[in-house]
Structure formats: structure tokens, C-alpha cells
Chains A and B, each alone.
Chain A
Amino acid sequence: MTTTLDAPAPAAPQPRNRAAGRLTSLLKQRETGIAIAFVALLVVTTAVNPNFLFSTDGWRDLTLTPAILVCLAIGQAMVIVTRNVDLSVGSTLGLTAYLAGRLFLDTGLPVIVVVLIAVAAGAVLGLINGVLVAFAKVPALVITLGTLYIYRGIMLEWAGSDRINASDIPPGLLDFGTGSFLFIPNLAWISLALLAAAIYLMRSTRVGREFYAIGSDPAAATLYGLRDKRRVLQAFATSGALAGLAGILYVSRYGTISSGVGQGIELEAVGAAVVGGVAIFGGSGTVLGAALGAYLLTTINRALPVLGIPDFWQQAVVGALIIGAIVLDRYFARRQHDKLLAEREEA
């Protein structure tokens, strides 16, 4: 661009002290808040019972238990960012886990092939959601509520009362599911790797930024010429594939696949995303926040009994947390809004 404009003298954007600015903005971020809450929870619980953190199993459970939910929460966050929601992930997880179990039982396919098949199957189930949402223009809530029933029904009908036991699963996979590397369980490594990839995707690629754009204002996305249908399909397919992978992780960790696998976990995934700062109407929030939300929710579940609160109250705490998170979000959004307005008045 070689053009110049003789417009009124610019009051150039004031370059603030960037380092200080970064620090304050880091502190203001939702992810930081969740991380602090998580650490506080750890500290308190460990103080009550040192085993919570300082025992082999305590450490392992801390890092291992959230792995599956983290997978789902990452996918869920992507879908919610595009102003949709995927309620079918629990059923997808169940169906792919059973599919994997059956493949182990009925075919001699190598583990890696089965894993790929399960992930692909999850992606296809997600794609079905995506196609219905993008082309029939029906809200994702309704579509995925429908597929939640359908996928679960298919799994139950297919499984009948057959149950897949640990003895049917290749020992290699089971060992992998319970093993660790550098003191961190393998499954946790997988979920962390996925998280890193997802963060990269959402922050630094066009696909990710367009997810945000579509969720922020679908009409503007059309005017910008973004391929919104394709992006919605991609978001759902990714969520499905992650649910498929979560199915495999489930198999490798628990070894047993019964009819109830993954039932109700979709709401935990949505809850993790919401607690992690993903706005339910799209456009804002991060996968890191969702993953931290998943860590927080799972760890609370495990911490309550240690803290002497009967585990029956877990759900209530999770609910209160979700409400608290969205109320807090709204409060900060309002403050931010007022601040921006005030800045505008000043200018």
C-alpha cells in the first residue's frame, strides 16, 4: 500500500506499558481465576488429607481422572464458540467405546487401527450433527438432544445385555490406560497434547479464528464471506472425533463397557466449558478455560468426601459453581462494557 491520507492529525494509539498491561490482563483472565480456584482446592484438600496429592495414587488420580472430561470439554468448547452446543457427546462416547470393544472382541485388528476407527466413527457421528445443524438450520440444542437419544439407543440396542469385560480388551491397551510416563499418566499426556493442539488451532489458525467469528455474529460472518457451514461441520466433527477418542480412553482406563457408559457426561462437558468461561452464546472463551473447568469439576468431585462433605452434595456444588461462573461473567462483562462506554465518552 503506497497510499497516504491527509486526514486529521492522528492521536496514535498510546503504546501502554505492555509488560504491565500483560500482567493485569493475565490476572483478569478467566483461566487464571479457574486455575487459582483449582490450586486453592488442592491446597485445602491436601492440608486436610496429604494423601490427596502426596501419594502415588493421589497424584495419579488427580492427573488421570479428568483426562476423559478434558477431551470432551475441548470439543464442547469449540462447538459452543460457534454458537452451537453438542449434547450428544455422552452418547457418542458410549457408542464408540462399545464399537471399539466389539472390534477387539470380534476382530483381531491391531489396537491402533481400532483407535483410528473409533475416532473416525466419532467424527462421523459428529458430522451427522453438524450436517443437520448447518443445513436444516435447526438449533443445535434440539438436534443434539435428538441424536443423544438416537446414538444411545443404537448403542443399547446393539449391545443388548452384552457387556465387554476387561478380559476382552487387549492387555496392551489396558496397560497403556493405567500406565504413566514421567510420573504423569499416559491418558493425561494424551489430553494435554490434545489441549495444546486445540489451543494452537483456536488461537493461531484461520479455522479457529473463524469459529470465534461465526459465533460472535453469524450475520457478519456471511457478509465477510466466511464459509460458515463448513466451519460448523468442522466444529461438530471435531467434537465427535474427540468424543470417539474419549471412548477409547474410557476403554483403556476402565476396561469394562456397560450400557451406561458416558451417560450424563454431556452436561458435565457443557458445565466444564461454561465454568471455564466459554460463553453459551458463542464468540468468546477458550479451550484452555474449558479444560481447566474440567479439571476443577472432576477434582471437586473427588475432594468433597475428603473434606468431609458427603459425596451426595457434589452435584449441588457443581451447580452452584456453574451459576456462580455465569453470574460472575455477566458482572465482569457489564463492568467492561461500562468501562468501554466511559472511555468513549472521554474520547
Chain B
Amino acid sequence: MTSKFRRAGSAVAIVAALGLALSACGGGSDSGSDGEGGSDTSSITFIPKNLGNPYFDASDKGGKNAAKEIGTKWSQVGPTESTPDSQVSFINTATQQRAGALVVSANDPTAIGDALEEARNAGTKVVTMDSDTEPQFRDIFVSQADAAGIAKSQVELIAEQIGGKGEIAVLSAAANATNQNEWIKLMEEELTANHPDIKLVQTVYGDDDDQKSFDKTAGLLQSHPNLKGIISPTTVGIAAAARYLSDSQYKGKVALTGLGTPNQMREYIKDGTVKSFALWDPEQLGYLSAYAADALASGDIEGKEGDKFEAGDLGEYTVGADGVVVLGEPTVFDESNIDDFDF
């Protein structure tokens, strides 16, 4: 069996060489983790729900700008799919790197909790933004706007567009997304309380996947011939829904609103598919989160109610109950102002 001998020997050599080559190429690219070993109190790691999402691209941009102003190291890593288990690996990695602070947009309120606890035990400060975990897992939650405010504004936008009555539906992101579910719940309450003639007939989930959201929109319109409006409180969803509507028979007949970025929606505002939608500025959200993270990491604040910190251009913020920091009210975009924004 000399051949087997030879074969195995060469296999060792080749595979080992391959491994070396791979790890060498890995070692070659350093993105902000070199420097002194051990704890790195002055670094901030952003972990969005997933990469390739324009919303988080904007918030990352804000975070990066803030880090530059503060003079700390900044990096962004994340999974390609927005699932909690893939996020955990990246949280763990940040723990290993002894990052000073983590800014996470949670894919699940509890699933990533243990990993965050592990990180905090290792001395890393944890800020959640956009989508929160349960309060005990993080130091501060930077909220884009308070949930009730968002829900109310969404309902008002749609009510105005459909004339206060008729069937509406919601196109959400993942079925487990904390913030989405909370908004939907609050929207329902708002509808019952103030708009009894509007009926929410169905909530569908596009998983922040473009094609899925697109197809779900088609499904909604078919299953509910009397549908008057759609609320899609997620940037991927609203864009996909707008694109579907824009060249369907429903264009202009079925109203659409929700949360979207101006760059995505500009076209549909201009062609009349969408009248208005809302969003806070995600760039500001990232910017504020980075400042909050830095304030925690440098020990300026502890995340208790009443703690105050400076957030660069945005001015001073106060930590509210449960460690929540609220960015502010969302901006409503329509034909009149959309060209003033670029994100």
C-alpha cells in the first residue's frame, strides 16, 4: 500500500500549505484590532442585525463619524442573515477582543442575552440600538423614537391617506423582531382607540428580504381585494412594497406608508406611489449610540436613570427609565422635503 502512504503524505503537505495560505491571507488584513493586547477600552464595535442593509449602513456611518470625533477605534462586523445565532458569534468575538463597548441591534430580545452577559462580564459595555434586548442584558438602549410615538405617527399617516376608514395590512420584517412586534401591538391599540373604522386585516412577514417582501405584498393584495392601505415599518419592506405597487393596478389606489430611507423611496414619492412615510435619521441614531457607548466605556456614566452625557452635535442626552435614551421624534418625508435628505 505504498500509494496510500504517498497519498496521505502529500495530502498532509497540500492541505497544510492550503491552511497556511488561508490563515496568512487572514492575517494580512487587519481591520482595527491590532495594537496592544488585552483589554481595549477605547474601541467600539457595531453589530447590526445584518450586513447589506441600507438602514444599518446609515447608522454605521453615524457611528463611524462619532468615533472619529471622539478619537476612538471603531469597527463594524455582523452576520449576513439576520438571525440571533449568527449574531452571537460576533458578540462572542467582540468579547474575546475585549472591545470597550458593543453597539448591537438585537435580532432577538433574549436569544443573544447570554452572549451579551458574557461580554459584560468581560468588561465590555453594551448598548443596544434600534431593536432592544430585555433590559437586564444591556447597559443602555438608544431608541430611535419612543415606540408609542412611532406607532401613532404610522397610524396617523395611513389614516390620513385612506380617509380614516377601510382595511389595512402590515408588512413587517422578521416575525421575532422586537421593535416591529411592539410597534404593531401599539398600532393595534391606537387603531382601536382612535380609528375604529380602520381594520387591520393581516400582518405578513417579509423577513427584511427583498424578494420575500415583494411577493408578500403581492399576496396581500390578492387575498384582500378591499385593502386600502399597507403599513410597512421596515425599510426593506416599504421599498419592496412600493416597487410592487408602482407598476401594478393598485398604484395610487392602495396607500403605502411606513419607515423607509429617503434614497430608497425618492422614486416612489416622485411617481406618486407613496405620499408620505416616516423615519428618524439612522445616521443620527448610530451617532448617538456611539457617543453613549463611549460614555459608558470611559466610565462617564453607568447607564442609570438620570445620567447625562454629551453627544457631539446632537447635544446633551439624559438616560431615561430602564436605561433608555430616546433620539427624538421621527421625520415625515413627502414630496416637499424628500430632496433635502441623502441617506
Co-complex (A, B): yes
**A contact set with B: CB distance below 8 Å:** 49, 51-52, 55-58, 60-61, 65, 156, 159-163, 165-167, 178, 250, 254-256, 258-261, 263, 301-302, 305-306, 311
With both chains docked as a complex, state the minimum distance between the C-beta of B219 and any C-beta of chain A, in angstroms. 5
With both chains docked as a complex, state the minimum distance between the C-beta of B201 and any C-beta of chain A, in angstroms. 12
B75 within 8 A of A: no
Pairwise interchain contact B222-A49, C-beta atoms closer than 8 A: yes
Given A65-B215, A161-B56, A255-B243, A57-B221 contact (CB < 8 Å) = yes
Pairwise interchain contact A311-B219, C-beta atoms closer than 8 A: yes
B122 within 8 A of A: no
Residues of B within 8 A of A60 (CB): 248
Residues of A within 8 A of B54 (CB): 161, 163
Give the dominant DSSP class at B's interface: helix
Chain B, 266-299, CB within 8 A of any chain A CB: 266-267
A161 vs B248: C-alpha distance when bound (angstroms):
30
With both chains docked as a complex, state the minimum distance between the C-beta of B170 and any C-beta of chain A, in angstroms. 14
Which chain B residue has the least Cβ–Cβ distance from A256?
Answer: B210
4 closest residue pairs by CB, A with B: A259-B52, A178-B247, A161-B52, A56-B249
Residues of B within 8 A of A165 (CB): 239, 263-264
A311 vs B52: C-alpha distance when bound (angstroms):
26
Q: Mark B253-273, 1 if CB is under 8 A from A, else 0.
A: 000000000011011000000
Which chain B residue has the least Cβ–Cβ distance from A159?
Answer: B52
Pairwise interchain contact B263-A57, C-beta atoms closer than 8 A: no
Which chain A residue has the least Cβ–Cβ distance from B239?
Answer: A256
Q: Mark B135-177, 1 if CB is under 8 A from A, else 0.
A: 0000000000000000000000000000000000000000000
Chain B, 195-218, CB within 8 A of any chain A CB: 204, 209-211, 214-216, 218
With both chains docked as a complex, state the minimum distance between the C-beta of A310 and any C-beta of chain B, in angstroms. 10
Residues of A within 8 A of B60 (CB): 161
Residues of B within 8 A of A57 (CB): 218, 221-222, 248-250
Residues of B within 8 A of A159 (CB): 52
A166 vs B246: C-alpha distance when bound (angstroms):
12
Pairwise interchain contact A52-B222, C-beta atoms closer than 8 A: yes
Q: Mark B218-260, 1 if CB is under 8 A from A, else 0.
A: 1101110100000000001001100100011110000000000
Given A166-B243, A167-B267, A260-B210 contact (CB < 8 Å) = yes
Q: Tell which of B52, B223, B243 touches A258, judged by Cβ atoms closer than 8 Å.
A: B52
Pairwise interchain contact B51-A49, C-beta atoms closer than 8 A: no
B117 within 8 A of A: no
Pairwise interchain contact A51-B52, C-beta atoms closer than 8 A: no
Pairwise interchain contact A163-B222, C-beta atoms closer than 8 A: no
B118 within 8 A of A: no
Residues of A within 8 A of B266 (CB): 167
Residues of B within 8 A of A51 (CB): 222, 225
A165-B263, A256-B243 given. 14 additional CB < 8 A pairs? Answer: A57-B218, A57-B222, A61-B218, A156-B80, A163-B54, A163-B57, A254-B240, A258-B209, A259-B51, A259-B52, A261-B210, A261-B211, A302-B222, A306-B219
Pairwise interchain contact A55-B249, C-beta atoms closer than 8 A: yes
Residues of B within 8 A of A311 (CB): 204, 216, 219
Pairwise interchain contact B51-A160, C-beta atoms closer than 8 A: yes
Pairwise interchain contact B52-A305, C-beta atoms closer than 8 A: no
Residues of B within 8 A of A167 (CB): 263, 266-267
Residues of B within 8 A of A305 (CB): 204, 219, 223
Residues of A within 8 A of B110 (CB): none
With both chains docked as a complex, state the minimum distance between the C-beta of A197 and any C-beta of chain B, in angstroms. 26
Q: Tell which of A52, A56, A166 touches B267, judged by Cβ atoms closer than 8 Å.
A: A166
Residues of A within 8 A of B248 (CB): 56-57, 60
Pairwise interchain contact A163-B52, C-beta atoms closer than 8 A: yes
Question: Among B56, B60, B219, B263, which residue has the most Cβ atoms of chain A within 10 A?
Answer: B219
A61 vs B215: C-alpha distance when bound (angstroms):
9
Given A161-B56, A254-B211, A49-B80 contact (CB < 8 Å) = no
Question: Among A58, A159, A256, which residue has the most Cβ atoms of chain B within 10 A?
Answer: A256
Which chain B residue has the least Cβ–Cβ distance from A167?
Answer: B267
Pairwise interchain contact B219-A161, C-beta atoms closer than 8 A: no
13 A/B residue pairs, CB under 8 Å, sorted by A: A49-B225, A56-B248, A156-B51, A160-B51, A161-B54, A161-B57, A161-B60, A165-B264, A167-B267, A250-B211, A255-B243, A260-B209, A301-B215
Given A254-B214, A261-B211, A302-B215, A161-B51 contact (CB < 8 Å) = yes
A308 vs B18: C-alpha distance when bound (angstroms):
53
B86 within 8 A of A: no
B178 within 8 A of A: no
With both chains docked as a complex, state the minimum distance between the C-beta of A94 and any C-beta of chain B, in angstroms. 11
Residues of B within 8 A of A156 (CB): 51-52, 80
Pairwise interchain contact B222-A161, C-beta atoms closer than 8 A: no
Which chain B residue has the least Cβ–Cβ distance from A56?
Answer: B249
A258 vs B56: C-alpha distance when bound (angstroms):
13
Residues of A within 8 A of B211 (CB): 250, 254, 261
